Amino acid sequence: MLLATRRLLIQSLSLIALAVASVPFAWADASIDFDIQPGKASKTLKEFARQAELSIVFDSRSVREVETNSVSGALSAKQALALLLEGTTLVFEQDEETNAFAVLRNQVAIDEPKAPAPRKQKPPPKKLPLKIRRNS
C-alpha cells in the first residue's frame, strides 16, 4: 500500500511539474486585455508588466526621456510591447525559458552617425577698388 501511495504521489508531482513548466509558454501567446496610456517609458513599462503579469527588466537611465505609445485591446504580451515601443529608440528581447522581457536602447539608433554640423560660409572677399593705369 505504501508503494502504491508513493507512486501516486510521484505521478501527481510529475503532472504538476509538467503543467507548471508549460504555463509560461502558453502564457506568452495568451490574449490579454491591455489598456496603457501613452507616457514616460519608465511608467508605461511597469504598467505593461503589471497588466501582462510578466517580469520586465530595464535600465532607468536607458528609458529616461523616452515617450511610449498607448496600447489597448486584446493582444499577446509580445504584440502589446511591440506597439508600446514602436517608433521609439527602445527594443525588447524575451527570455524563452522564463518569458521575462528585457527592454534596452536600440544600438543602431545610438550608433548612427549624426549629421555633421553645417559649415559656416565665409563671407565673400571685400571688393578692393581697382586702379587702372594706362601707359601713355
Query: What CATH code is carried by the domain that includes residue 41?
Result: 3.55.50.30
More confident residue, 9 or 76: 76
Give the number of domains in the chain.
Answer: 1
CB 40 within 8 A of CB 86: no
Strands 90-94, 101-105: pairing kind: antiparallel
pLDDT band at 125 (very low <50, low <70, confident <90, very high): low
- Does residue 102 fall inside a structural domain? yes
Mean of the per-residue pLDDT values of the chain: 77
Please, what is the Cα angle at 118 between 113 and 120, to 5 degrees? 150
Residue type, 81: L
- Does residue 126 fall inside a structural domain? no
- Does residue 119 fall inside a structural domain? no
pLDDT band at 112 (very low <50, low <70, confident <90, very high): low
Q: Where are the alpha helices (DSSP H) in 1-136?
A: 2-29, 41-52, 60-63, 77-85, 107-111
- Does residue 99 fall inside a structural domain? yes
pLDDT band at 120 (very low <50, low <70, confident <90, very high): low
Residue 41's domain comprises 30-111
Whether the full predicted model's pTM is greater than 0.85, yes or no, is no
- Does residue 41 fall inside a structural domain? yes
What pLDDT score does 106 carry?
Answer: 85
What is the chain's length? 136
- Does residue 4 fall inside a structural domain? no
What is the average pLDDT across 81-86?
A: 96
- Does residue 96 fall inside a structural domain? yes
pLDDT band at 12 (very low <50, low <70, confident <90, very high): very low
- For 65-80, letters b (16+ CB in 10 Å) and e give ebebeebeeebbbebb
- Does residue 103 fall inside a structural domain? yes
